[in-house]
């Protein structure tokens, strides 16, 4: 597969340095975007072509563009961090690139070469480096690569044209209020994904399908929804945009990748990082009955959610049709916070990167 060279068409920033600094002081999540984006096209018979770095701006799409009707779309999420010496590094972009390829295969889309994905992210961060928040806090630059089917027409079949885009957004905490434990609504009837479906692909439809359950959770006073498996409605899978970890003293269990949950890169990193800290992480099945009973008998000491946007977020309260209970007294657990600090230390360059996860720019 040929890798196109990215042609640079930068513009000067539409914002003054002072305006940018004001945004960086309180970026929120996904509300502000940097000055540029990278776009690469794919056409059947021609492959990847027209790779460009251009000013950030709207995409013009014909109303009959395939993605608007049949949702042939995939995306990724990764972060770049400012290090103590002022340099910038992204976290495991190659892992996101490989997952993007896997999502592409599932959605019958062309696979972008790993090196092109990584280069597109690098070129964008290099040009918009001033948007990477300063070292010291928790803020980072969130990168959102995505691909859409751009063929015009209403036929239901894999498109013959696609557009790959990378945009970037300075990001503070995903949940407003910092590291505050979140409340979870345990959904026993609505499912996120089914065996043989697209639950392990990062495709927009999974998120669209989760919005009603998320809105229902909000009416119960909860921040997030935890989904169970679609067959037995028994086994805990994940949240709408995060994986889960269950802490039993020194032992950690994260739900096994059954095909209907996303193989989170944070989840994978924590399997390794927890072992480095002398903990015993493993993949396994956790049932809803077990979650409730082990919280009541005190053996399940902490539960946390993890993902690129959410980093590590403690679970404080669980609500379901079967009742409500607190997790680690509703406070952030000790192991949760230890892992959180260890992960952020690697990502922000405060700790040695023994696994070679950081990609310097």
Q: Tell me whether residue 124 or residue 262 sits nearer to ligand PLP (CB atom).
A: 262
Residue 156 C-beta: closest distance to ligand PLP, Å: 25
Which partner, ligand PLP, ligand COI, none, binds residue 243 by CB below 5 to 8 Å per kind?
ligand PLP
Which partner, ligand COI, ligand PLP, none, binds residue 133 by CB below 5 to 8 Å per kind?
none
Contacts to ligand PLP from residues 76-115, by CB under 6 A:
77
Q: Tell me whether residue 65 or residue 260 sits nearer to ligand PLP (CB atom).
A: 260
Q: Tell me whether residue 42 or residue 227 sits nearer to ligand PLP (CB atom).
A: 227
Residue 238 C-beta: closest distance to ligand COI, Å: 11
Residue 76 C-beta: closest distance to ligand COI, Å: 7
Q: Tell me whether residue 4 or residue 93 sits nearer to ligand COI (CB atom).
A: 93
Question: Which two tokens mark 64?
Answer: 């009959």
Q: Which of 173, 264, 316, 333 binds ligand PLP (CB under 6 A)?
A: 264
Rg (CA), the chain: 21
Q: Could you say whether residue 333 binds ligand PLP (CB under 6 A)?
A: no
Which partner, ligand PLP, ligand COI, none, binds residue 358 by CB below 5 to 8 Å per kind?
none
Angle, CA of 247, 239 and 164, to the nearest 5°:
125
Q: Tell me whether residue 6 or residue 312 sits nearer to ligand COI (CB atom).
A: 312
CA–CA separation, 121 and 167 (whole Å):
9
CA–CA separation, 38 and 111 (whole Å):
17
Q: Tell me whether residue 93 or residue 241 sits nearer to ligand COI (CB atom).
A: 241
Residue with tokens 């996860």: 357
Q: Could you say whether residue 262 binds ligand PLP (CB under 6 A)?
A: yes
Q: Tell me whether residue 77 or residue 110 sits nearer to ligand COI (CB atom).
A: 77
Q: Could you say whether residue 311 binds ligand PLP (CB under 6 A)?
A: no
Q: Tell me whether residue 3 or residue 102 sits nearer to ligand PLP (CB atom).
A: 102
Residue with tokens 């885009």: 165
Q: Could you say whether residue 242 binds ligand PLP (CB under 6 A)?
A: yes
Q: Could you say whether residue 145 binds ligand PLP (CB under 6 A)?
A: no
Q: Which of 167, 257, 265, 286 binds ligand PLP (CB under 6 A)?
A: 265
Q: What is the 3-state secondary structure (H, E, C) of the chain?
A: CCCCCCEECCCCCCCCHHHHHHHHHCCCCCCCCCCEEEEEEEECCCEEEEEEEEECCCCCCCCCEHHHHHCCEEECCEEEEECCCCCEEEECHHHHHHHHHHHHHHCCCCCCCHHHHHHHHHHHHHHCHHHCCCECECCEEEEEEEEEECCECCCCCCCCEEEEEEEEEEECCCCCCCCCCEEEEEECCCCCCCCCCCCCCCCHHHHHHHHHHHHHHHHCCCCEEEEECCCCCCEEEEECCCEEEEEECCEEEEECCCCCCCCCHHHHHHHHHHHHCCCEEEEECCEHHHHHHHHHCCCCCEEEEEECCCEEEEEEEEEECCEEEECHHHCCCHHHHHHHHHHHHHHCCCCCCCCCCEEEC
Q: Could you say whether residue 308 binds ligand PLP (CB under 6 A)?
A: yes
Q: Could you say whether residue 238 binds ligand PLP (CB under 6 A)?
A: yes
Q: Could you say whether residue 173 binds ligand PLP (CB under 6 A)?
A: no
Q: Which residues bind ligand COI (CB under 6 A)?
A: 77, 241, 307-309
Question: Which two tokens mark 194?
Answer: 């089914």
Q: Tell me whether residue 4 or residue 77 sits nearer to ligand COI (CB atom).
A: 77
Q: Could you say whether residue 320 binds ligand PLP (CB under 6 A)?
A: no
Residue 241 C-beta: closest distance to ligand PLP, Å: 4
Which partner, ligand COI, ligand PLP, none, binds residue 238 by CB below 5 to 8 Å per kind?
ligand PLP
Nearest Cα to Cα of residue 126 among 106, 141, 109: 141
**Under the rule (CB under 6 A), what is the footprint of ligand PLP?**
77, 238, 241-243, 262, 264-267, 307-308
């Amino acid at each position: 597969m040929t890798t196109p060279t990215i042609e640079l068409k930068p513009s000067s920033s539409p914002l003054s340095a002072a305006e940018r600094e004001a945004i960086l002081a309180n970026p929120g999540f996904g509300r502000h975007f940097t000055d540029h984006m990278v776009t690469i096209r794919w056409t059947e018979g021609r492959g990847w072509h027209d790779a460009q770095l251009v000013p950030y701006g709207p995409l013009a799409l014909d109303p009959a563009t395939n993605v608007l009707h049949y949702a042939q779309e995939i995306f990724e999420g990764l972060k770049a961090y400012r290090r103590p010496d002022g340099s910038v590094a992204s976290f495991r972009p190659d892992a996101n690139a490989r997952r993007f390829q896997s999502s592409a295969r599932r959605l019958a889309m062309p696979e972008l070469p790993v090196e092109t994905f990584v280069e597109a992210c690098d070129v964008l961060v290099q040009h918009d480096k001033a948007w990477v928040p300063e070292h010291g806090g928790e803020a980072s630059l969130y990168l959102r690569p995505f691909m859409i089917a751009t063929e015009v027409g209403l036929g239901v079949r894999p498109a013959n044209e696609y557009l790959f885009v990378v945009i970037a957004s300075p990001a503070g905490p995903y949940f407003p209020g910092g590291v505050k434990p979140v409340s979870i609504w345990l959904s026993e009837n609505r499912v996120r994904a089914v065996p043989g479906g697209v639950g392990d692909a990062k495709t927009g439809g999974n998120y669209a399908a989760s919005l009603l359950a998320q809105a229902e959770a909000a009416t119960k006073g909860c921040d997030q929804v935890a989904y169970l498996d679609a067959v037995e409605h028994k086994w805990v899978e994940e949240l709408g945009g995060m994986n889960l970890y269950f802490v039993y003293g020194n032992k950690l269990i994260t739900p096994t990748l059954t095909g209907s949950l996303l193989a989170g890169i944070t989840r994978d990193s924590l399997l390794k990082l927890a072992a480095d800290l002398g903990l015993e992480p493993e993949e396994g099945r956790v049932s809803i009955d077990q979650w409730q009973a082990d919280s009541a008998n005190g053996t399940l000491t902490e539960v946390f959610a993890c993902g690129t946007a959410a980093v590590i977020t403690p679970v404080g309260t669980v609500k379901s049709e079967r009742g409500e209970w607190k997790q680690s007294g509703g406070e952030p657990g000790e192991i949760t916070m230890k892992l959180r600090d260890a992960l952020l230390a690697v990502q922000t360059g405060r700790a040695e990167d023994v696994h070679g996860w950081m990609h310097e720019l």
